[in-house]
Structure 1
């Protein structure tokens, strides 16, 4: 192999500039391993490119023209001494510089995007932690409330066609609050809500305690509801969104009577 001619062909400059095909890169790499002269030349080119990159300013490069210049150099009458390739390596340096700038800009954009994602995930995690903490506190408060020695427990059994439905009311008369455990009710259909009623039995008088609008999205299915009534029973009906003035008896799912106290 004519190593001198190969070195003077301009291929090594293109190799350093990263402009060869994968097959051509592999071929040059094998020759570098085989011939110390080619390795030395590549090292010199790389050193020159690094030096020139420090002073080169980015500009638009027509690589086809650059390549044509290199190709044309093969047919020019060259002096016996090795020709100066500074101009070629200058182009190579510019290519590397522009490529480096593009790589830096692209990676900077990607890094900024990744940082935004990390920030969003961090914020989301903080919200989850806060929600979990809030839920734990809320759960503890509910457990403390229903375990109070003065609490009145009222089971609500399924009615009519809804015998499989069930619920339970924990009534704290001291703070006029009931805690409704509605685990035994299905999710309300679209356009419907569960409505809770306080009842007196003689005469039968229902008083609405409100609707449970967030029933389907609540995981615990335990709801604190204000109740200042002298309730003798509690019932739950399925009503149109917004609730009803009086219970729809055909949609009475559960009913429970407050046990009389001695």
Structure 2
């Protein structure tokens, strides 16, 4: 299990807010016992929720207190008692204690209900905010996947167009003895002598090195430039050449060299 992915999945926030299922809670309880990082993430989420509740708490309107006490006062007003109704031996209590007790109970109930509603509102807002972030992350991932798919299609289409153009000659460069499974392709335009290169399965070059394309002209190597593996274009135009007898690729220091390093040759192909 990748702990960082598990923590960022949203399960901890759902657990803290009480939205997690019994199965999710059971798994989380098992994981937190053996992983301090998960336990700390739970504590952080709890503190975040408490801070959010404190920050977003809304004070009641100033007039609410007056309204509540006015209601209590009205309920406590004594009804007029006639002589015929007044008991002879029972003294009327100085304060209506029963009425005040009922009013206090009612007030406590309203306070408890308000607290519950506040906590529920904060939790729901926190949950919605988490879902929003999750959806934004998913949209970003989908957008990146779409971009990658579009780029792969464009690169494939470029190869297809080159291979099916009668004015362009396709020259496969195959791996030499030290790199037998390597392969690259050169597309040579007959009229303009333009050269295009794709690295089919050559490994990624180190940061301080680049693949360099060479043309063999009258038995001598001529540099046609270096291939930029940081470019989004798989097919790159190189330096034009006339009357090439063969092409080869070597791995050289970044920026290229004046003459090829023969022991670093990867592929070669005759025209």
Task: Give the TM bin, normalised by the shorter chain.
Answer: 0.5 to 0.7
Match of 2:255 in 1: 242
| Cα separation, partners in 2 of 1:120 and 1:160, compared to 1, 3 Å | closer
Following TM superposition, by how much is the alpha carbon of 1:171 offset from its aligned partner in structure 2, in angstroms? 1.6
CA distance in 2, matches of 1:237, 1:176: 22
Are the equivalent residues in 1 in contact too, given 2:174–2:182 (CA < 8 A)? Answer: yes
Q: CA RMSD in A?
A: 3.3
Distance 1:122 1:185, change over 3 A: closer
Q: Deviations over 1:121-167 (max 9, x none)?
A: 22432343244234323322321122112221223233343344333
Match of 1:197 in 2: 214
Q: Which residue of 2 aligns with 1:228?
A: 240
TM-score (norm 2): 0.55
The Cα offsets for residues 9-68 of structure 1, whole Å up to 9 and x where unpaired, read as xxxxxxxxxxxxxxxxxxxxxxxxxxxxxxxxxxxxxxxxxxxx99967xxxxxxxxxxx
Aligned counterparts of 1:100 and 1:122: Cα–Cα separation in 2? 32
- CA–CA separation in structure 2 for the residues paired with 1:113 and 1:248: 56
Q: Which runs of 5+ in 1 are unaligned?
A: 1-52, 58-78
Q: Aligned partners of 2:225 and 2:236: how far apart in 1?
A: 11
- Structure 2 residue 131 is matched with structure 1 residue 118: no
Residue 211 of structure 1 corresponds to 227
TM-score by length of 1: 0.56
Question: Residue 172 of structure 2 aligns with which residue?
Answer: 155
Q: Could you list the structure 1 runs, at least 4 aligned residues long, displaced by more than 6 angstroms after superposition.
A: none
Q: Which has the larger radius of gyration?
A: 1
Aligned residues: 179
Deviation at 1:182, TM superposition (A): 2.6
Residue 195 (structure 2) aligns with = 178
